[in-house]
Amino acid sequence: MHLFLEFGNTFDPAALPCYMITQLHKTHKVMHMSRHAGIHDKIKQSHRRGRGRRAEPPAVSASDVSAWFAGQLPDDWFSEPPTVTIDRDEILVVGRVAAPKIAKGDDPAVAAAARISAFREDTREHRIAVAQRAQDAFSRTVSWGVSCGDESTVFTRANVPVMTRLDMPERHVLDTLIDAGIARSRSEALAWCVRLVGEQEAGWIDELRTAMHDVERLRNDGPASTRQSS
């Protein structure tokens, strides 16, 4: 029926090979266009996402994360609630363990370092399991640290690349640090500059953090009229 529709009422069997060749060319062209369109769509999606970019993690409050870890960690691990610090990429949990009892004349620093090392080995599997659950819940890498006496050690830290665009004067600053031997690369020079700002402007940055915490607290409390009605 399809052949008669293509050729009309006068069907010539001799024309069948030409007809089949034409149909094959049409099919090949359609498949090629479809495949090209699929590749083009993938390229467009890739450009929309951006190279090297990942989705922003969910917004969470430091108090909620701290409470989550308080519920996850055994009560006998630390002598006081651990300090939990968060940013967009990492959660750092630092707890204090009890200082070991030592004999008179023994070095407390050696004893504290040994206590930290023992804690790290004894809790490794449990910490890995908690870190995996935290990563699933908060989409952030978890790092651990322990304090004992005057000693403090961070076991692991996330080293996160940060992309930025700099004008020529700013690039000259980084290149000068490289030429002077202070840094080996622009990324290392930029990290040096960030550390310098953190040290020199620590007071101002602390004020910013305090202001942001106040804003978060007010936002969580809600308007006074809402609190009174509830």
Q: Note down pLDDT in tens along the chain; length 230 residues.
A: 444 444 455 545 555 455 555 555 555 554 555 454 454 454 344 444 444 445 677 888 888 999 999 999 999 999 999 999 998 889 999 999 999 999 998 999 999 999 999 999 999 999 999 999 999 999 999 999 999 999 999 987 777 777 788 888 898 999 999 999 999 999 889 999 999 999 999 899 889 888 887 887 788 788 876 666 55
Q: How far apart are CA 97 and CA 146, in angstroms?
A: 7
pLDDT digits (tens, 9 = 90+) for 200-224: 998 998 898 888 878 877 887 888 7
Q: How far apart are CA 136 and CA 60, in angstroms?
A: 13
Q: How far apart are CA 1 and CA 148, in angstroms?
A: 88
Q: How far apart are CA 152 and CA 113, in angstroms?
A: 8
Q: How far apart are CA 113 and CA 11, in angstroms?
A: 95
pTM of the full structure: 0.58
Q: How far apart are CA 44 and CA 39, in angstroms?
A: 9
Q: Which two tokens stand for residue 142?
A: 């978890």
Half-sphere exposure of 188 (CA within 13 A, CB side): 11
DSSP state of 182: S
The position carrying tokens 């692991």 is: 156
What pLDDT does 159 receive?
A: 75
Q: Which residues pair with 166 in a beta bridge?
A: none
